[in-house]
Structure formats: structure tokens, C-alpha cells
Structure 1
Amino acid sequence: MTASPSALPVVELWCRDVISCLQATFGSVLRHAGHDPLDVLGLHWEFRHKPGDVRSEEFYYPCATPGDLAASLAPHHPVSSAWHQADELDRPLDALADELSRGRLVIAAVDNFHLPFRPAFGDVHAAHLLVVYGIDEHNVHVSDAMPPDFAGPIPVADFLRSWSSANPTDVQDAFFSDSRIDRRYLTVDVGAEFPTLDRALLAKALDHSLELFHGPSHGDRTGLAGLGEFLDEVLKAAETADSATVRDVYPFGWGMQAQSGLHGELLRTWGLREDVPAVREAGRLVETVAHKWTGLRVCAAHGHPEPEAAAKELARHANALRQAYESAVDGLAEARSAL
């Protein structure tokens, strides 16, 4: 077990309106390591869809680096992560305690149904992430920046129920239930040498994004071509009553929306601070992409039980999203020219 509660680290909460628990937990880990989460998580922008890969978890993300969420979220920084599963049923917390003893925070997958501080407690099953920063004889100390934010102890028994949950199918949440938790957790390695967010690094990141957006789509659906393939598939699914494909828009789109929101904020604030209007305006355009995801995701969420009836509205939101991406990519090119 870890040290007494008085010796526990202070874990700062970090959140933004458009992000999920995935970015929030990684943000807390990065801040704990002394880095600005926005500089790290907001630097990269792309569109990526892996057909058949979407899972019913709030933290689903289509990884460019297989199995490594951190490297996929922040490819321009020395960060990496790995999934693990604690399999010692008699002392499952030992795996987490061992990580904490090395001074590393742990990100644990949990089921909201069993967490006393979540609004879904005792009501709705849903796969979620939170940060574990301490364990003592009676409590597990957790940090959750997603509203309503919470940091503090919860009874060991509650944590174990949440962390070990089967997360069964729940009619109240068609998007994040039906995905076993099974004592999964993430370890995150944060390198010692972090690059400074200057013009050179921003230019490098924009070059990478522009290459991805203008490149061909093969395997993973990437760039503007991949976006078109994805949206065409969704609209065809609606017209042919393919409810499952329409439903997947909601969990899949959250990762793309979150990344767009963070990248847009980074460009807008950096461009304002450094007095580079083209970068500031590119940020505004990328933030527009994030907001257009809301319309498509919410329409798909409400429309998937009867997708044919939602087809017209889905097409409207899909076209708006497509246009927003095209404008934002043009803005990105102008921003790159200004650096």
C-alpha cells in the first residue's frame, strides 16, 4: 500500500468542455509531470477512423500507434502509454500500488455505476477513466476532472466493484455500456526532455497535419479523403437502416471532437499571444470543426434507433462537418505559411 493520506501527491484537475475522460486523465498526468496539457494534447490534429474498431467506452480513440494512446494523442512529444490488467484476484490493488510507489500516477478504467461521486452511481453503467493517486487500508484516492469534478478517497470496496465490473448492457446508455472493465489500467511514461512550443515545433506539427489531411486514405481512413469515406458510410447506413453504424458515430466522434477542440484552442491562444493572426484564425476554424461534431454526434445518438427517419438531418450535419474540415485545413495551410 502507499503512504498515509497526508503524504499523497496533489493532483490538479484539468478539463475542457469538448473532451472526454481520456484527455482529462492524460491532462492530469501531464500537469503532474510539470507540463502544460494543452501544449501537449493540443499540438496534433488529424482525422482517423478505423472501420470495425469502435468500442463502447467513453475513452475510445483510434490509435495511429497501435496500443499506445499517449503516443497517438501526442506524437510530437516523448510520451507513451500501455494497457495492463491486474489478474491477482486476492490482491488486485497491488499492481496499482506498485506503480504509485514509483511516483507514477495510474489511469484506471472504471464503471460509473459503482462510483459514489458520479451522477450515474447505482443507476447507469458506463465505461470511464479516472486517475488513481493513492491507496491506503480503507480507501483508494482518485481524481476525476469530468464534471462534477472530484478528488479524494472512496472506499476500497466501491473502487473494486467499479474497476472489476462487467459493465453490462444498459438501455440507459447505448454508447458506453456493454464493455467489460476487468481491472484494466494505463501506465504513462513521460520523457524528461520536452520540446518548447515555439514557431519551429508548431510549424513541424502543422506540416504533419497537412500531410495527413491531404494524403491518401488506405487502411485507416485518414485525412479529408478518409473523412469523406466515413461520412458517406454513415449516410448510407442511415438510408439502409444500419443502426449499429449510426450509433457508433457518437463514441467515435468524441475523440475527433476533443482533438479538434484542443488543437483549435492551442492555435487560437498561441496566435493571439505571439501576434500571428493567421494562426489565431486557423484556431477559430478548427474550433468550428469541434462544434460541428456536436450536431452529427447528437443527431446520430438520437436517431440510431430509427436511422432512416434521421437520414436527412444526418446528411445536413455531415455536410456542415465536411465543409468545416475543408475550411479549417485551408486555414491550417495559411497558418503554416505565416510561420
Structure 2
Amino acid sequence: MTVEMTARTYMITGPEPELWYRDLVSCLQSTFGSLLARAGADPLSVLGAGWRFLHLPGDVRSEEFYYPCPANESGGTDLGAALAPHHELHSRWWQPADENDVWREVRETLADDRLVIAAVDNFHLPFRPAYGDVHAAHLVVVYGLDETRGVVYVSDAMPPAFRGAVPIEEFLRSWGSANPTDVQDAFFSDSRIGRRCLDVRLDAPPAPLTPELLGGFLHTDVDAFTAVGSTPAAGSNTAVGSNTADPAADARARTGLAGYDEFAAELLDRCRAGDADALRELYPFGWGMQAQAALHGELLRSCGRQWGDPALAGAGRAVEAVAHAWTGLRFTGAHGLEDPRAASADIAHHATVLRGKYARAVDAVGAAAARL
């Protein structure tokens, strides 16, 4: 779309944002995917290049877009770097600096021909199935603002996909919502929206994905999975394509297979103690790990097919099996909220199945990496 700019109309130039989506991703990956596609990058190659297990106890928030981010050297976090540890993808959260002009930063970003990712509450968005019914924290892409007509142009790839105009007043209610506790959504309500937005930048174009480059990524990821404790294995090539803060530098971090074992043991202990909060945290935390595994598996499977490498394609399928195993654990937890003790045996079963899938996938990815 090419729209003539006026004093009160701000639109990106060129085509509308791509509705980038995969079945197991959340609004986090879909919105970042839209921005990557607009930057001329392949979202799957960027978002699917990295694969890790990272749990930060006490960090999980009741938002669809929660994702664990280790602290960087300055004490802050970078969601873009966490999502794409092998690429120069960076992001920062911001809120309007002036409550008397909440659109100023949005105007400036759109005038710079860049998209905005905004946090919203589904309860107030007319195109979401939860409209007027369920409060839930969500992300959408803003690609235009027309203050004369009183509309915001929004793109949302999550089903049912939508791209078009939303009345400013309804968007403002969604963007500034308190997102109160909602008994209909125990996982994504009770988290103030606060007019948060993400500024996302791809600082360098991704290099063409070659077997050698992908092999470096895979060696780094396998080393992180197999390290004892939180420290990367000796001789690991974590510097190759590394973009994110070292999770080992965050004292809370549970990483790799050992970190998964700690996470699963604590989850089961809390369930047996009747702690429903353990299951409330499981659902949003697990979605991030599930989405990452799904994208990584798809990338490896696609590259294996394209490069005629059955071992790489098989490794991709093994990682996709990890993603699907997360479904059993997450949904068992969701249905066990009312009685965590009663759900603990099923939680133990699904956690054990998932652990086996992780172990097999790490072995398969390591074997494939050795061939690249």
C-alpha cells in the first residue's frame, strides 16, 4: 500500500505486513516474523536458527508473548536477541513518554517507515474472538495511523488472521488495559498492558544459510544442551554467531538438559504440594519453548530436504517431536489447575516423555552437525 502522508496520517510504504504464522507459534514469533519479512529476511531462517532450553525461575509472566531473556551486561534484557541468538536481531520495550501525546513515538516510527509491535488486551479488539468476553495479553503489528479518520491499522497473523483498520478509541482501550484477572483465562490475564511497545531492529542482513554456517549454529546449540550445569562445555564454539547474553551469567538460569531436569523436578514437587501457580506458569513458559522447537525443527527438515541430507531432515523431525511433546505437558497442566495434586502423575508422565524427546533430538542434531 502506498499512502500519501498528511499531517495526521502515517502509513508505511509498500505492501501491507506479511501475515507470518506457523501452527505452534504465539503472537511473539508471528509479529517478529512479520517485521523480519519486511526487512527482507526469511523469518524461518532467523527465528528457527537457534534452539535452547532456558528457564528463569520467578520470571514467568501471564502473557502470551512471555519468553525467557537472560540479563545482559547492563542488567537489561533483549527479547530479539533471545529469540534469534545467531543473528543481529535486537529489540527494546518502550512506553509513551508523554501521556498527553501517546501517539508521538508511533508517528515517529511509522514516519521512519518502520512497523510497531504493540501489546494489547484481546478483550477490547473487535477482530479477536475474545472481544468483549475474555481478557488476555497479546501482540499485534501497527502499520498505520490516521488521526483524521480516527483509525489505527493493525495486522495480526494469529487465527483468525486480520489486517485492517480499528477505531482509535477501541485500540486505546486495548493498548492501555489493566488486563484484569479473568477466570476464563488463567494464563494470559492479570498482566497490565501499560501501552507497551517493542522497537525491533535487524542490525545486519542475515548471511545466506549454508551447511557450514548452519553447522556452526548447531554445534553451539548442542554444546549448550549437553553442558553440565549452566556453563558451556569446554571447547564449545559459543562465539560463532552469538547474539545474546550468556544465560550462564544469570544466576537464575536453568539451561540445557540439566536445566530441564531441574525445571521438571521442581514442577512435579510443586504439583504434589498443590501449588496451582506452577501450572499457571507452565502454560506460557512452555509455549515459548514449544514454538522455538517447532521453528528449529522445520528449518532443519527444510534444509535437509533442500540439501539432500537425510540426517539433517531426520534431526528436524526429532526436534519437531520435542515441540509436539510440549503439547501434552502444557495442556495437562492447564486441565490440572483445579487439583494439581491429582494431576501430578500425568504431569510426571508427560515431563518424562518430553525429556526423552529432548535427549533423542539433541543426539540427532549433534550427529547432523558433525556431517555439515
Q: TM-score when scaled to structure 2?
A: 0.89
Task: Flag structure 1 segments of 5+ consecutive residues without an equivalent.
Answer: none
Question: Counterparts of 1:251-262 in structure 2 under 5 Å?
Answer: 251-262=284-295
Q: Structure 1 residues 314, 337: CA separation in 2 closer, same or farther (over 3 Å shift)?
A: same
Which residue identity is paired with 2:254? R
Kept after mapping to 2: 8 A contact 1:67/1:83: no
Q: 1:192, CA displacement in angstroms?
A: 3.7
Residue of structure 1 equivalent to 2:355: 322
Query: What amino acid sits opposite 1:323 in the alignment?
Result: G
Provide the C-alpha distance between the structure 2 equivalents of 1:179 and 1:328, rounded to a whole number of angstroms: 34
Worse-superposed segment, 80-89 or 319-328: 80-89
Distance in 2 separating the partners of 1:3 and 1:112: 25
Determine if contact 2:12/2:144 at 8 Å carries over to the other structure: no
The number of residue pairs the alignment matches comes to: 339
1:117 aligns with 2:127: yes
CA distance in 1, matches of 2:129, 2:288: 22
Alignment correspondent of 1:74: 84
Aligned twin of 2:194: 182
Distance 2:345 2:367 in 1: 34
Counterpart of 1:90 in structure 2 is 100
Change (3 A) 1:303 1:271: same
Given the alignment, which residue of 56, 62, 78 partners 1:50? 56
2:212 to 184, 200, 207: 200
Counterparts of 1:110-189 in structure 2, within 5 Å, are 110-137=120-147, 138-189=150-201
Partner of 1:212: 224
Q: Tell me, in whole angstroms, the C-alpha distance in 1 between the residues paired with 2:203 and 2:117.
A: 17
In structure 2, what is the equivalent of residue 21 of structure 1?
Answer: 27
CA contact (8 A) 1:207 1:336 kept: yes
CA deviation after TM superposition for structure 1 residue 134, in Å: 0.5
Q: What are the ranges of 5 or more consecutive residues in structure 2 without an aligned counterpart?
A: 1-6, 231-250
Question: In percent, how many aligned pairs have the same letter?
Answer: 55
Q: CA deviation at 1:249?
A: 0.6
Q: Find the aligned partners of 2:153 and 2:15 in 1 and give their Cα distance.
A: 10
2:209 partner amino acid:
L
Q: Is the 8 A contact 2:116 2:198 kept in 1?
A: yes
Q: How has the CA–CA distance of structure 1 residues 174 and 83 changed in structure 2, closer, same or farther, with 3 Å as cutoff?
A: same
Whole-Å separation in 2 of the counterparts to 1:6 and 1:97: 10
Counterpart residue type for residue 276 of structure 2 = S
- Cα shift at 1:193: 3.1
Relative to its length, the structure with more helix (as a share) is 1
**Worse-matched range after superposition: 253-262 or 205-214:** 205-214
Report the secondary structure of 1:187's partner residue. strand
User: Paired residue for 1:32, among 25, 38, 56?
Assistant: 38
SS at match of 2:291: helix
Deviations 1:135-169 (A, max 9, x none): 01211001000000001110000110000000000
1:99 corresponds in structure 2 to 109
For the residue of structure 1 that corresponds to 2:64, the secondary structure is coil
2:225·2:255 contact (CA, 8 Å) conserved in 1?
Answer: yes
Say whether the 8 Å CA contact 2:11–2:113 is kept in structure 1. Answer: no
TM-score by length of 1: 0.97
- Indicate if the aligned counterparts of 2:12 and 2:143 stay in contact, CA closer than 8 A: no
**Structure 1 CA distance for aligned equivalents of residues 15 and 154 of structure 2:** 11
Runs of 4+ with deviation above 3 angstroms? 1-9
Q: Deviations over 1:65-99 (max 9, x none)?
A: 55211111111111100000114222211211111
**Helix, strand or coil for the counterpart of 2:201?**
strand
SS of equivalent residue, structure 2 residue 129: coil
**CA spacing shift, 1:36–1:2, aligned 2, 3 Å:** farther
Superposition RMSD on alpha carbons, in Å? 1.4
User: 3-state SS of the aligned residue for 1:146?
Assistant: coil
SS in 2 for 1:268: helix
| Conservation of the 8 A alpha-carbon contact between 1:140 and 1:153 | yes
State how far apart, in whole Å, the 2-side matches of 1:49 and 1:2 are: 44
**Contact (CA 8 Å) 1:58, 1:128: kept in 2 or not?**
yes
Q: Is the 8 A contact 1:140 1:159 kept in 2?
A: yes
Whether the aligned pair in 2 keeps the contact of 1:2 and 1:100 (CA below 8 Å) is: no
Q: 2:342 matched to 1:309?
A: yes
User: Structure 2 counterpart of 1:160, which letter?
Assistant: L
Aligned with residue 12 of structure 1, among 18, 31, 34: 18
Instruction: Report deviation, 1:5.
Output: 6.1
Offset at 1:6?
A: 9.6
Q: Does the 8 Å contact 2:121/2:179 carry over to 1?
A: yes
- Residue 285 of structure 1 aligns with which residue? 318
Query: In structure 1, which of residues 207, 210, 232 is the aligned counterpart of residue 265 of structure 2?
Result: 232
- The whole-number CA distance in structure 2 between the counterparts of 1:87 and 1:47 is 35
